[in-house]
């Protein structure tokens, strides 16, 4: 075998190594959440004792959504500025209620937001005429590790091709929906997306890892919110509405019969 054939084989092997090193390891993720269920509150039969003023205040708040609910959506600004919510992210979340009757989601305009604390966001939502506000917050985490391919790096050439580094990118999203007027918590939803890379050090794409894991988390949040919102307004799988039964009416006791007059 002459030198040209040897070089040709090495070139083929190099290309195959690059392709295998750039391949993404399939990612995964999941979602979970909480909601109040059908909104009619059932009265307690017996009074309860509450020994903390803050707890008493929280429990005193009651659901008060109308039949048609307008929900403003706010995406919190990332604290470290290492990533940002894309237009596709925002659109996908605000379309979570497109198949849910009686619920409309819309984005809160940044020009009306004075701060990102709950009180300021409730005020901004009120200025939009919203009944509730959905606050969405994301967090990105990345971990890197080296594998057995690192032992080939002293040969110099494998530095460009050997998939010696692994990158795990996780993106978690939390969402909470509050009543604009009294701060009542209607639902929460969480999701997490995972993207894994195994590549040569020079080809590791950290920005791409954040982007892909965030897209997966947004998709999972979309599905979780859709289910939570549907359950919140009492919507069944067939689209019909299942509301909790109203409280039983309180019957006034019948007046006691008047005593018969004494006989003369």
> What confidence tens digit (pLDDT) does each residue in 116-134 have?
999 999 999 999 999 999 9
Range of the domain at 82: 18-37+67-232
Residue 49 lies in a domain: no
Lowest model confidence (mean pLDDT) among 3-7, 122-126, 152-156, 186-190: 3-7
Residue 195 contacts residue 169 (beta carbons within 8 Å): yes
For 150, the token pair is: 């690192």
On the question of pLDDT at 95 being above 80, the answer is yes
User: Per the confidence metrics, is the pTM higher than 0.75?
Assistant: no
Q: Is residue 263 part of a domain?
A: no
With respect to residue 246, please indicate whether it lies within any of the assigned structural domains: no
Q: What is the DSSP string of 177-243?
A: EEETTT--EEEEEEEEEEEEEEE-GGG--HHHHHHHHHHHHHHHHHHHHHHHHHHHTTB-TTS-B-P
In a domain, 186, yes or no: yes
Where is pLDDT greater, at 13 or 143? 143
In this prediction, residue 210 carries a pLDDT of: 84
CATH number of the domain that residue 169 is part of? 3.40.50
Strand partners, 24: 197
**Phi, psi of 55, deg, nearest 5:** -65, -40
pLDDT at 242 over 80: no
What's the total number of domains in the chain?
1
pLDDT of residue 138: 96
Please tell me whether residue 244 adopts helix, strand or coil conformation.
coil
pLDDT-wise least confident of 134-148, 179-193, 207-221, 245-259: 245-259
Predicted confidence at residue 227, as pLDDT, reads 95
pLDDT at 33: 75
Q: Is residue 247 one of the residues assigned to a domain? A: no
- 5: in domain: no
pLDDT reading at 241 higher than 60 = no
Tell whether 4 is covered by a domain.
no
Q: Is residue 208 situated within a structural domain?
A: yes
Angle between helices 87-94 and 206-232 (to 10 degrees): 20
Q: Which residue has the higher pLDDT, 8 or 60?
A: 60
């Amino acid at each position: 075998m002459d030198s040209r054939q040897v070089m040709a084989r090495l070139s083929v092997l190099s290309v195959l190594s690059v392709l295998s090193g750039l391949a993404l390891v399939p990612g995964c993720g999941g979602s979970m959440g909480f909601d109040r269920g059908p909104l009619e509150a059932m009265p307690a039969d017996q009074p309860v004792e509450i020994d903390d003023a803050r707890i008493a205040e929280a429990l005193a708040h009651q659901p008060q959504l109308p039949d048609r609910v307008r929900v403003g959506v706010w995406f919190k600004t990332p604290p470290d500025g290492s990533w940002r919510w894309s237009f596709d992210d925002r659109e996908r979340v605000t379309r979570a209620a497109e198949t849910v009757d009686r619920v409309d989601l819309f984005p809160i305009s940044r020009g009306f937001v004075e701060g990102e604390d709950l009180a300021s966001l409730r005020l901004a939502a009120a200025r939009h005429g919203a009944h509730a506000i959905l606050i969405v917050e994301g967090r990105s985490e990345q971990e890197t590790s080296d594998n057995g391919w690192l032992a080939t790096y002293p040969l110099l050439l494998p530095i460009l091709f050997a998939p010696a580094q692994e990158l795990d990118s996780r993106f978690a999203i939390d969402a909470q929906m509050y009543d604009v007027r009294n701060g009542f918590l209607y639902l929460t939803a969480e999701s997490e997306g995972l993207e894994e890379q195994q590549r040569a050090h020079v080809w590791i794409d950290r920005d791409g890892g954040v982007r892909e894991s965030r897209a997966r988390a947004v998709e999972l949040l979309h599905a979780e919110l859709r289910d939570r919102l549907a359950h919140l307004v009492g919507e069944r799988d067939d689209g019909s509405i299942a509301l909790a039964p109203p409280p039983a009416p309180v019957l006034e006791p019948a007046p006691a019969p008047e005593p018969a007059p004494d006989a003369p």
